[in-house]
């Protein structure tokens, strides 16, 4: 076998091994209950998440598991302790819960119709367990940003985002929101599942405003994990 083929096989085996480890963090109950829920194991805690199957934003998608696993296994390089963190499109709140358990000041955001379930999941999984009690706030991308998140008050060390790019018509508003929440030193950790050509176009558009670095790739899931920072416009 030629070296390139051997390298490809090793990468494929490594991908499958890591993905298996990530997916093993999820426990799906065998007992059917009135409320849909799943349990996850991160940062030494059992995290129980209530889902709503009638809404994209109230389901835990694989991208969220990838980001949680990354935060847990890269604590030296990406230390969350006492950092100001905001998650956009928080959905069920799993990523925000993990960041909180790792010691961050977390603001979990999403659309108004998702806040009830988001608050419920965050409260039940962080109360008396976290250094800083996380906040839950409404954030509709591109809407009332100056009012609800004034630039003068934005002091986020990290922006977390998992699977926020999919078949919705608000990609430009999402880009505006990323830009608004970032200062020059803010680090974006963003996990994306590639489904359609629209995702590739968004990445190209995103790179016009941000320096983008691919940190990890999971081909079997069609998922990539990116680190991004705002381009230094003063040197542009």
pLDDT digits (tens, 9 = 90+) for 115-124: 999 999 999 9
Encode pLDDT of 12-71 as tens digits. Answer: 778 889 999 999 999 877 665 656 788 999 999 999 999 876 565 578 889 999 999 999
pLDDT tens-place string over residues 166-196: 766 788 999 999 999 999 999 999 999 887 6
pLDDT at 28: 75
Burial of 151 (0-12, 13-18, 19+ CB in 10 A): exposed
Task: Give the model's pLDDT for residue 19.
Answer: 93
- In the numeric block, which tokens belong to residue 11? 């990468």
Averaged pLDDT, 96-120: 96
Mean pLDDT, rounded, for 100-116: 96
User: pTM surpassing 0.95?
Assistant: no
Going by C-alpha positions, the residue among 142, 233, 147, 135 that lies closest to residue 183 is 233
Q: Which CATH code, of 3.40.50.300, 3.90.1150.10, 3.40.50.150, 2.40.50.100, is assigned to 3-230?
A: 3.40.50.150
Domain boundaries, the chain: 3-230
Residue 138 exposed, middle or buried by CB count within 10 Å (0-12, 13-18, 19+)? middle
Over the chain, what is the mean pLDDT? Answer: 88
């Amino acid at each position: 076998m030629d070296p390139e083929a051997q390298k490809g096989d090793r990468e494929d085996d490594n991908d499958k091994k890591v993905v298996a480890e990530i997916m093993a963090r999820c426990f799906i109950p065998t007992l059917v209950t009135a409320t849909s829920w799943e349990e996850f194991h991160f940062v030494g805690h059992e995290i129980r998440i209530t889902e709503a199957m009638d809404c994209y934003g109230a389901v835990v998608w694989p991208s969220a598991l990838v980001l949680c696993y990354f935060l847990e296994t890269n604590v030296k390089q990406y230390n969350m302790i006492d950092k100001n963190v905001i998650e956009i499109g928080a959905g069920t709140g799993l990523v925000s819960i993990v960041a909180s358990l790792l010691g961050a000041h977390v603001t979990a955001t999403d659309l108004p119709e998702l806040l009830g379930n988001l608050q419920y999941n965050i409260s039940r999984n962080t109360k008396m367990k976290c250094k800083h009690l996380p906040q839950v706030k409404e954030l509709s991308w591109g809407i009332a940003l100056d009012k609800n998140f004034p630039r003068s008050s934005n002091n986020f060390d990290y922006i977390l985002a998992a699977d926020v790019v999919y078949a919705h018509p608000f990609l430009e508003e999402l880009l505006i929101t990323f830009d608004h929440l970032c200062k020059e030193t803010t680090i974006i950790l963003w996990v994306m599942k590639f489904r359609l050509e629209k995702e590739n176009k968004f990445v190209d558009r995103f790179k016009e405003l941000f320096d983008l670095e691919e940190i990890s790739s999971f081909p079997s899931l069609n998922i990539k994990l990116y680190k991004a920072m705002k381009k230094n416009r003063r040197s542009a």
